[in-house]
Amino acid sequence: MSLEALTKAPALRKGMLGTALTINSQEYDDVTLKGAGHSDAWEFTEAVKAAWTHFNLAALEKEAAQLDRILAGVLALAAPSRYPSACQIAPLLDAARALDSSLLSKLNAEAIGPEVAARIAPVRKFATDPRTARANAITTFVAAELDRWKDFFDTIESKPLTPEQRLSVVVDEDATLVLAGAGSGKTSVITAKAAYLVKAGIRQPEEILLLAFAKNAAEEMSERVEARSGVPIVARTFHAISYDIIGIVEGSKPALADHATDDMAFTNLIKQILKDLVYRLSEVSTAIIQFFAHFLVEPKTEWDFKTKHDFYTHMESQDLRTLQGEKVKSYEELQIANWLYENGVEYEYEPVYEHKVPETGRRDYQPDFRLTESGIYIEHFGVRRQKTADGRERLVTAPFVDRDEYLAGMDWKRKVHAEHKTILIETYSYERQEGRLLTGLAEKLAPHVTLNPRPVDTIYDRIVELKQVDDFSKLLGTFLRKFKSGGYSLQDCETKSDRMKLGKRARAFLDVFAPVFEEYQKRLEGRIDFEDMILRAAHYAETGLYVSPFRHILVDEFQDISQSRARLVKALKAQHPDVRVFAVGDDWQSIFRFAGSDIHLMRHFGREFGGTFDDEAGVHRTVDLGRTFRSVDQIAFAARSFVLRNPAQIEKQIVPAGTATEPAIRVVSVSKGEDEAKLNEVLAALSAAMAPEAKPATVLLLGRYRFIEPDMPGLRRRFPRLKISFKTIHASKGLEADHVILLNADSGRTGFPSEIVDDPLLSLVSPEEEPFRNAEERRVMYVAMTRARHTLTILASNARPSSFVTELRKDPAYAISTAPGAEPEAHICGECGGRLLGVTGQDGRIWYRCEHVQHCGNLLPACPSCGTALPRHAEGTSEVRCECGASYPTCPECKDGWLVERSGSFGKFLGCVRYPTCTGKAKIANGDRPAITKPRRRKRI
């Protein structure tokens, strides 16, 4: 039995037959010796106790130096001299647990005595509950450090730092994320952090890497740090540090490609590569032509949508332009037209039928296609085949199409051709669904038409002429840059395409992209582009070819970080166990996804950059600056509420810069053609409200797009007391003004939110898209709102206000000021669910036209009585009523129309105002006039 195995000192118990001696051991069950002489038993027990105590103390003495080091570290946590970050305390915890496991847990308190037991107790407690010990140490350190550096925080900037800013400076976790909302003073935080690290002796200037995204931001930061603190720390862009790393490893810096800094030169290079590949007349040229002919636009049809409105909205976002040059109404028509063009079959799109069809109330019949040489007509029918329960087959239409009416229209067209003995070739949506639309068309045309395929280079010249190459080259270029910067492979893209079910279009695109990328890499000829720069530097850091001197990495505008930049930061952090990442950003202002920024890196900051402590990964600290030095309460709170409608945004508290004494946010409705006049009115009001002795107020005009910039020289001449500037919202980040005016907050393709959707192909090389609708556009709106100090004025179309404006107006929580009656009543189109918009016709009258002009064509006159408003169906009645008081009989055929008196060959009758689109009619009972109620009074709107 070994001394190490004893669990307590031997015990003696006197009895009638002598003394019983019991020994407790881990190795055996308790051993009891009975009937011993008491004196002998006592002497033996004392000898065992002495040996046992000596053994325990000797074991402890062997580890005395290690114990002293660990104990000193644990006791120092009571008043730490440095922030007890995970990376700093983790080695102490590992050592404490190792010693506890190998020795301390095996020592017996009785054997070593109370003094020694008390000495090792702090180490054992720390090993058991290190998180509490570290948390208490952090609290103690932060309180003391804030007090110790109070004078520094009071004077480092022109105004004393806020409590939140001070906290962010002294917190020094493995990874620290500072949530810096708009106008919260993030630059002050970075400046103070860099100066503090050096002045506190935590780091030498050369151990600090200060990273910015733009060259001018880096220069400004360097100047500010040195001016405020006297500490010479050079801020660098990601590209600059990457270029330096490459130079150190390779001995010299490779030449930068000419197109790296010139977007136009880059796009022209892609265009030239495409052209050269086509003219080689290889399989690649065929793949390129096939993509342009059949996959240039997203191949969605009416079957992919639940409503006409959704379908029409999608179609309007696509430019369904054929190789011949006309715009068609569906993707399947585009496929047919381009196949005809490729194969040299001359055609007309939607010609008027060559025979006059007897009066039917319909518009002139226009078949989809007429082949000019043969006179054959092609009609493409949007029907699919469906099996019924009894096994029979029936034709069905898209969800929002009236099946019976559509099938009747198909029969009518067949009869027209049969009566006039013209040849009709029919194609169907189910043929495309089954993958044989074009092969089927070729078979049907074979008896009538000889194909004469156009040469590939001829078709490509036509594509260039239509300027389709320009946009496609930009798409290819954007894809290429994202592909390289994200470190993707073609296999990655193919796998993601399968997962996202992007189908044949993605495969056709990758068939073009692969040879373009290969050729692009060849043409670099040893030079380097910006994407190579960061990835090569990250690789050198990951493999240890570059040894980093940096122990603190400070990153500005962290919400804009991309996967490749994050990879570089992680590689530099991994080189040394004590490297800290200090990131400052605002996920509410993440608006550069198109440039590769990945908001998920910020939302999962701990997982991506955090440390490890007590078997917990992702250890990090988040500090919310909260306070804004810019916007008054109404603007700050409205902007916060607006952006947080997306539940994925990180919630932050806001302390506004001041209290507004009058409405700070206004929506001004603008009628068609009044944009300039309304802007002048708003500027005039701002100028007039200024006190005579006041210095000029700053006014920032913001637009979602550059092209809506107004006449700035003219505005500056007219309003000399205002300092007026214009920026796109993206370019306005970091700026502020007394007053902000947001222009053209309208709905539409180039409205705000923008309805120009990124091509789905870019999702193959982009961060995962956020599920919340308009997630990034909502953040763009937040950026626009928070540029304003005192007032925000939003100019929005009276007829087509954006969904953002509608939301701001409807929710009283936003406290938006709107002129009485300024918000127009929304009229929904009964034909497709879009909006009916008021327009002035060539006759000077007001008409209400569906927003989906090309597809829907619903057109209604204004009320005949007042001439301005639109009569609408009155709930529970057979009347259509106008707000002016007039009422009319409802049309029995359509949802929007009403009946007015008309004259026909059989006399007067009631006909729909939408004639000839709608042929609804009714008789005039007993020769009476229609039941039309005159208005009580005329009302202008």
One-character DSSP codes across 739-802 = EEEE---B-STTSSS---PPPGGGGGGSPPPPSSTTHHHHHHHHHHHTTEEEEEEEEEESSSB-
Nearest-angstrom CA–CA distance, 738 and 758: 34
The values of phi and psi at residue 115, to 5°, are: -65, -45
Give the separation between CA 630 and CA 657, rounded to whole angstroms.
6
Q: Are the C-beta atoms of 353 and 364 separated by less than 8 Å?
A: yes
Given a contact cutoff of 8 angstroms between Cβ atoms, the answer to whether 921 and 912 are in contact is: yes
907-914's contacts with Cβ under 8 Å and 24+ in sequence apart are 913/860, 913/861, 914/858, 914/859, 914/860
Under 8 Å between Cβ of 920 and 897: yes
Strands 208-212 vs 235-237: parallel, antiparallel or unpaired: parallel
Q: Are 746 and 752 in contact (CB under 8 A)?
A: yes
Phi then psi dihedrals of residue 503, to 5 deg: 70, -150
pTM for the full model? 0.76
In single-letter form, the type of residue at position 564 comes to S
Q: What is the pLDDT of residue 338?
A: 95
Q: What are 725's strand-pairing partners?
A: 700
Report which of 813, 802, 683 is spatially closest to residue 741, judged by C-alpha positions.
683
Dihedral pair phi/psi, residue 703, rounded to 5°: -135, 150
Return phi, psi of residue 617, to 5°: -90, 165
Half-sphere exposure of 897 (CA within 13 A, CB side): 22
Residues 6+ apart with CB under 8 A from 719: 683, 684, 686, 687
Contacts of residue 580, defined as CB under 8 A and 6 or more positions apart, other chains included, come to 85, 87, 172, 173, 174, 175, 176, 551, 552, 553
| Beta-bridge partner residues of 386 | 394
Instruction: Please give the pLDDT value at position 934.
Output: 54
The separation between the first and the last C-alpha atoms of the chain, rounded to the nearest angstrom, is 105
Helix (H) / strand (E) element for 294: namely: helix 283-294
From residue 225, how far is each of 191, 209, 235 by CA, in Å? 5, 13, 9
As a whole number of angstroms, the distance between CA 919 and CA 734 comes to 59
Only one residue has tokens 């492979």, namely: 489
Q: How crowded is residue 740: how many other Cβ atoms within 10 Å of its Cβ?
A: 27
Hey, which bits of 404-493 come out as E strands?
424-428
Element (H, E) at 177: strand 175-179
Those residues with Cβ within 8 angstroms of residue 173's Cβ, 6 or more apart along the chain or in another chain: 83, 85, 86, 580, 611, 619, 620, 621
Q: Residue 409 phi/psi, 5° resolution?
A: -65, -40
Instruction: Specify binding-site residues for ATP.
Output: 180-187
Write down the pLDDT at residue 809. Answer: 85
The burial of 141, by beta-carbon neighbours within 10 Å (0-12 exposed, 13-18 middle, 19 or more buried), is given as buried
Residues marked as binding?
180-187
Q: In what order do the strands lie in the sheet with 836-840?
A: 836-840, 846-850, 859-861
**Rounded alpha-carbon distances, angstroms, from residue 28 to 375, 624, 930:** 107, 59, 112
Q: Which of 608, 581, 605, 619 is nearest to 131 (CA)?
A: 619
The one-letter code for the residue type at 161 is L
Distance, in Å, from the CA atom of 640 to the CA atom of 586, rounded to the nearest integer, reads: 12
| Separation between Cα atoms, residue 520 and residue 530, nearest integer Å | 14
Which residue type occupies 1? M
User: Are 649 and 588 a contacting pair, CB within 8 Å?
Assistant: yes
Q: How far apart are CA 534 and CA 568, in angstroms?
A: 7
Sheet of 899-904: strand order equals 899-904, 907-912, 921-922
pLDDT of residue 545: 97
- DSSP label at 562? B
Residue 376 contacts residue 370 (beta carbons within 8 Å)? yes
Residues of the chain falling short of pLDDT 50? 1, 821, 927-928, 936-941
Tell me the C-alpha distance between 112 and 109, whole Å. 5
- Torsion of the alpha carbons at 420, 424, 430 and 431, rounded to the nearest 10: 170
pLDDT value of position 184: 79
Our measurement of the distance from residue 277's CA atom to the centroid of its chain's CA atoms, rounded to an integer in Å, reads: 35
